[in-house]
Structure formats: structure tokens, C-alpha cells
Chains A and B, each alone.
Chain A
């Protein structure tokens, strides 16, 4: 097979939809177009049947009951509904929420909003490997804490948090536990019962499904979680999320979950092999390469590395036939280097030099070989251009140099 360019290796941003998902969805745009809430004719029944099938497919992937799945427009909405929904519903119990500094903006910005509304939020720091410190979590809990929200796996560095331990701590204290599982769902085994998760967000487009559709798992038993609705309307989804259901999208999300469920074990092994191959090649050919985040507790398809003394955007420019992303400030809208990498405490310079590789279902070994060779080549070229690499080679301690910050 010959390579097709550009090569996509940015699966944490989004994934290509699986043809099988697309095939499952298509009839629901035209032929089976009913409103799932129409109770008195076949169009509605067919749509409802498709929605309920999807609910089951999602529930099966995460060890939940179909009744515990609430459809949303994606994980941004799921996260908003979870956090605001809990905060408002349980406000009389307390006003304190605990989350982590490395969460997705859909969590962090929602928390900021809640702070404006009078809630108190603790943003736990992470350790240098990206994992939270469970003792710090324990210490942060007060008798006003109503919710702990910690992501399952991080979207930049792929580290998988100790979800079961977090859940245990939450349970001991009678605190609800929400997890943003966008990056983990369908990639590594998740079981909301075993894991002890009360509320969990997922989205279609990170698991080879469609964009604009997601779900929120909301526990019905032990404890029964209640959420304040964030949109008023027809009272769909047990009153938690009004709005006519996006039937084709929901069918796609369900199909995507079923495929992940079936293929996850093998796909995970394959991707871990390819990811490790990529890593090993980079380390074999280049010096001063640093892995960002814990390598053991990590998604199988993620690699996030910093090529010291090379700026990320210039590296992306050199590998312009490969789609990856960088934590460099130059590639972000805010001109700030990645807050996730900064939270690891390794220093902004390594954030500027970082590249995130996100392998996926359609990544081939040939692509990995090509990307490794290309990255190695460009890093070498840019290091010849780098005054910092030159100084490093001369034995200069860069941390002792007086820079003219600007």
C-alpha cells in the first residue's frame, strides 16, 4: 500500500468516522426521519427504536444500564450539564467542587463560571507525570464538597488518572464523582460500576463516530444522581436534556461504541505497538527527547514528546505532510504554551518544544515509519539552526544564562 498524504496523526483532536458508522447512520437522514418523541405513528417508533438501541450500545461499552444514558450535543455540553447540573441540584448540600489543573477547557471554564455564581473550586495540581496526588485530593475535601470531577485520560498527554482510587475517596465522603472520559471511552476498558463513576461524559467524534453528538452517563442507583436541567423545553431525556433527539447522530454514536467495544482489545494492542515503535525510533536517532506524562498509565495511542532546543511550530512546519499538534505557544490562539504541559512543571521551554502524536484506527505501520523518519530529519535540521542546541553541545547550562525576556 502506498502512503496517502497528508498523514493524520491527531486523533485526540478528532477521528475520521468509520465507514461502518456512516453506513449505519445514512438511512436515518432520509428514510427513517421520524421524531423519536412521536408516540403515535411508525415514523416515531422507528426513530425511538434506533435511539434505544444506541443507548444500549453505549451502556454496554461502559458497563451501565441503558436508562442511565442521556444524549447531548457533545462532551462540552455533557461536561456543562454534569457540573452545573450537580452544582445547582446539590447547592443546599455544599458549594465546593474539586477538579484538576489539566482538565479540558470544557471543565475548567465551566468551573470558572460556577465560581462567578458563588461556588468554590479547587484546581488540584498534578505531579510531574501528570497524575493527581490522591493525598492532595483527600486534603482538598471539605464538608462542603459536593463534586469531584477528574478526567479519565488527558487529551494532550494521554495519562490515565487513578479513577478507581478517586472514586473510593469520593464514595467514602459521600461526594459525587464525575469523569470526562472523552479520550478514554472506546480506547481502554471502562466500567462505571467497577470504576465507581457517578457521572461520565463521552463524545462521538473521538471514537470514530460523528461530531455534534455525545452522551452523559448519569447513575440511577447507589446513589441516584439528579441533575438540574440546563435548557428548558420538552422534557426529553428524563427531563435532563430537552430538545428533539439527533437520531442519525445518536445512531452513529451507538454504532461507534459497539465497534470500539468489539475491537478495543486488539486495536489497543496494535496501537500500543505502533506508538512504542514511533517512540523507540525517535529515541534511537535523537538525543534530548523527553516524554511528557506517565508512560505506564497512558492511553495506548498517545505519545507526547518534547524535542529540546527545537520550537514546536517550526517543527510542524517542517513536517507539513503530517497532521499532529504542538503545545507551543505559536500554535495556540492565546499565544500561551500548553497549560497542561506547564502544569507538569517541566518549564515552558519544553512545552514550546512538544509534539502530540495521536494514533488511531486508521494509522498504518508504514505511516508510523514515515512520520518517525520525517520528524527525525526535521529535528536534526532545526537543531543545526538552533543556538540553544549549539550552546547545549558546548556545555553551557542554559538555566544559568541571562535571557532578554520580551
Chain B
């Protein structure tokens, strides 16, 4: 199978590889996929509590080149976005950007799932921390 230049670029120079502190209240962690299925993505965001903007995003992925590229690209896109903007990222945009062939669309779906899972984790932490009605300082 031939890979697009963009997939190759992300594979050869993955952006934002690494891990953030899961216990940090401002960090949301999403882990999706399963080893038996051949792909697992861990995607983490760190949200600035003052501005609500994603300051940092990191990933680690077990999966094919397209899965690595999809999650690498996702971290690039997440940085600088608000949580709500991040929620609007669609897998089809990842497909288009990376020119993924039909058999690799599931990689982009997984990346979207990972974004959603990371945000859901962050929001769950936020709710716990912030009683309804309280003012975040």
C-alpha cells in the first residue's frame, strides 16, 4: 500500500509524542481501541483553567502508520483550540488532511473517539472539582 506524503511525514516525525500527568486536574486522558484489534490510542489534553484553551496535547499510539499519523495530527489540531472547538473536530477532516484510503478510515474514527474521550475525562474532572454555581478563579 502506498502512503500519502502527509502520513509518511507524521510517521517519520510524529508531533507531540509523550504523556501528561493523568492525575493533574487540568489534564484529560482518552484511551481508545484494543490490542486485539491492532490499534490503541492514548490522547491527552491539558487545558488552561484561566482561558479554557488546550495548551498542550500529547499522544501515544499502538497501530499502523495511518493510526499514528491520525493521532499525531489530532494533537497538532488540538493545541490552541477551546474545548468546544476541539469537540467539533470530525474524522472526515482527518481523512481529507491525510488522504487516507477507505481501509484506513477507522484510524481517523479512532482519533476522533480519542479526542472525545480525552475531553470527556477532562470535563468529568472539572465537574468534580467545580460544584455547580461556584466561580472558577
Contacts and interface: CB of A to CB of B under 8 A. Distances in A.
Interface of A: 309-311, 313-314, 317-318, 328-330, 335, 337, 347-349, 352, 384-390, 398, 403-406
Interface stretch (B26-34, B91-99, B126-134): B26-34
Interface in B6-50: 11, 14, 17, 19, 31-42
Contacts of B63: 311, 314, 330
B64 interface: yes
A16 B60 CA distance: 39
Given A352-B36, A385-B17, A386-B61, 5 more contacts: A309-B62, A311-B63, A314-B64, A314-B68, A404-B113
Interface of B: 3, 11, 14, 17, 19, 31-42, 60-65, 67-68, 103, 106, 109-110, 113, 117
B21 to A, nearest CB: 13
A329 B38 contact: yes
A398 B62 CA distance: 13
A155 B41 CA distance: 32
Contacts of B40: 387-388, 403
B60 to A, nearest CB: 4
A349 B35 contact: yes
B34 A403 contact: yes
Contacts of B37: 329, 348, 405-406
Nearest to B60: A387
A313 B32 CA distance: 19
Contacts of B34: 403-406
A335 B103 contact: yes
Contacts, number: 88
Given A337-B38, A388-B40, A403-B40, A314 B103 contact: no
Contacts of A405: 34, 36-37
Contacts of A386: 60-62
Contacts of A335: 103
A309 B19 CA distance: 17
B64 A403 contact: no
A104 to B, nearest CB: 23
A403 B17 contact: no
Given A385-B14, A385-B61, A387-B61, A406 B38 contact: no
A385 B36 contact: no
Contacts of B33: 403-404, 406
B101 to A, nearest CB: 12
B60 A311 contact: no
A384 B3 contact: no
A403 B33 CA distance: 6
Which 3 pairs of residues, A with B, have the shortest CB-CB distance?
A403-B34, A387-B42, A349-B35
14 contacts: A311-B64, A311-B67, A314-B11, A314-B67, A317-B3, A318-B11, A330-B38, A349-B35, A349-B38, A385-B17, A386-B61, A404-B117, A406-B32, A406-B34
B60 A385 contact: yes
Nearest to A310: B62
A118 B19 CA distance: 58
B38 to A, nearest CB: 4
A318 B33 CA distance: 22
B76 to A, nearest CB: 15
B39 A347 contact: no
A367 B45 CA distance: 43
B32 A404 contact: yes
Contacts of A385: 14, 17, 60-62, 68
B86 to A, nearest CB: 19
B66 to A, nearest CB: 8
Contacts of B32: 404, 406
A386 B35 CA distance: 11
Nearest to A389: B62
A389 B62 CA distance: 9
